[in-house]
Amino acid sequence: MANNNRKVVLIGTGMVGMSFAYAALNQSVCDELVLIDLNEVRAKGEAMDLNHGLAFSNSSMKIYFGSYNDCSNADIAVICAGVNQQPGESRLELLQRNTKVFSSIVPRVVSSGFDGIFLVATNPVDIMTRVTYELSGFNAAKVIGTGTTLDTARLRYLLGKYFEVDPRHMHAYVIGEHGDSEIVPWSQAVMAVKPVTDLIKQHPDLYSMDDLDRISENVRTAAYEIIKAKGSTYYGIGMAVCRIVRAIFNNENSVFTVSVRLRGEYGLRNDVFIGNPCILNSGGANRILELNLTEDELEKFKDSYKILDENFHSIEF
């Protein structure tokens, strides 16, 4: 990866895409940011608007409206294009419509000569990541979805409040589908180094499994609640995308619950993209961490895997 000019192409300059772009500018995560959208007028307007903020930022980022030819020497292609979830609509219902959108995007990115990393945020994100993998023919390590990164952030935020500890010291993950079948494997959740299950045993007057189950339910339904309140969700996911981009550019070997193609973990076939802790660096998805799940957690993870696989196979390309 050429890191003397960190170049990102953003495809889809709607609410999610521009929340990422705004975070990227404020955090100076790249040197060049190209905006592409079916709605060219909007993408041009967004480029103008961001450029007017440059003077107030610490960045000298080059931001411009572009075309698929601009992908040729980009390091990362962030895809946020697509149709949004309507109130009450599940992420999986978006699938067919967004597959059509991706069929008009991914082949054009690839034919530009692009040799970087695809980072997908469009929902249903796990399946759209697999669609990107299939359409691109890229090595699976270079095709990543945001997966349950945002859900994990929501979980840590709520656990931090519940246990009254900095969320950065709550090590707990949401795995599986970014959607209704996602799971919180409580057997793997620790405050610093102390399992939360031990905390419950030691302080039954303060903490309970019922409370934790309520927290995981809140995480699972957070998007529905935000969509009901304000139409769509975008700041959180925009910042999650920005954080992942930074981890890739900085070759961090940081762990995120991104959507990745399994490599035989959990005894499952290795063709499904699903949220699981993964070490990310400049080569993309470096190592997938297979968790020591309880029987019940593994069963739920397998159910989630099955839903993602069946829905992928329901797509008409």
Q: Which of 146, 152, 188, 257 binds ligand NAD (CB under 6 A)?
A: 146
CB of 32 or CB of 37, closer to ligand NAD: 37
Of residues 250-279, those binding ligand NAD (CB under 6 A): none
Interface with ligand NAD, residue 37, by CB under 6 A? yes
Least distance CB 45 / ligand NAD (angstroms): 11
Q: Which of 28, 187, 232, 250 binds ligand NAD (CB under 6 A)?
A: 232
What distance in Å separates the CA atoms of residue 12 and residue 163, rounded to the nearest whole number? 38
Give the DSSP letter of residue 75. S
With CB under 6 A, what is the number of residues at the site for ligand NAD?
A: 30
What distance in Å separates the CA atoms of residue 172 and residue 152, rounded to the nearest whole number? 7
Interface with ligand NAD, residue 131, by CB under 6 A? no
Judge whether 87 and 128 are in contact, CB under 8 Å: no
CA 79 to chain centre: 10
Say whether 52 is catalytic: no
Interface with ligand NAD, residue 245, by CB under 6 A? no
Instruction: State which amino acid sits at residue 190.
Output: V
Judge whether 211 and 177 are in contact, CB under 8 Å: no
Catalytic residue among 52, 169, 171, 178: 178
Interface with ligand NAD, residue 129, by CB under 6 A? no
Q: Which residue is nearest to ligand NAD (CB)?
A: 14
Interface with ligand NAD, residue 284, by CB under 6 A? no
Q: Which of 11, 29, 78, 288 binds ligand NAD (CB under 6 A)?
A: 11
H/E stretch holding 195: strand 194-195
Of residues 52-111, those binding ligand NAD (CB under 6 A): 80-82, 84-85, 101, 104-105
Q: At what angle do helices 40-53 and 15-27 cross, to 10 degrees?
A: 20
CA distances (Å), origin 102, targets 99, 120, 132, 145, 213: 5, 10, 7, 14, 36
Cis peptide leading into residue 277 (ω within 30°): no
Least distance CB 239 / ligand NAD (angstroms): 11
What distance in Å separates the CA atoms of residue 153 and residue 128, rounded to the nearest whole number? 21
Tell me the pairing of strands 259-261 and 254-256. unpaired
Q: Which of 39, 202, 208, 221 binds ligand NAD (CB under 6 A)?
A: 39
Least distance CB 125 / ligand NAD (angstroms): 4
- Token code pair at residue 117: 């990393």
C-beta atoms surrounding 291 within 10 Å: 18
Interface with ligand NAD, residue 17, by CB under 6 A? yes
CB of 45 or CB of 167, closer to ligand NAD: 45
Interface with ligand NAD, residue 10, by CB under 6 A? no
- Residues near ligand NAD (CB under 6 A) are 11-17, 37-39, 42, 80-82, 84-85, 101, 104-105, 121-123, 125, 146, 150, 178, 232-234, 237
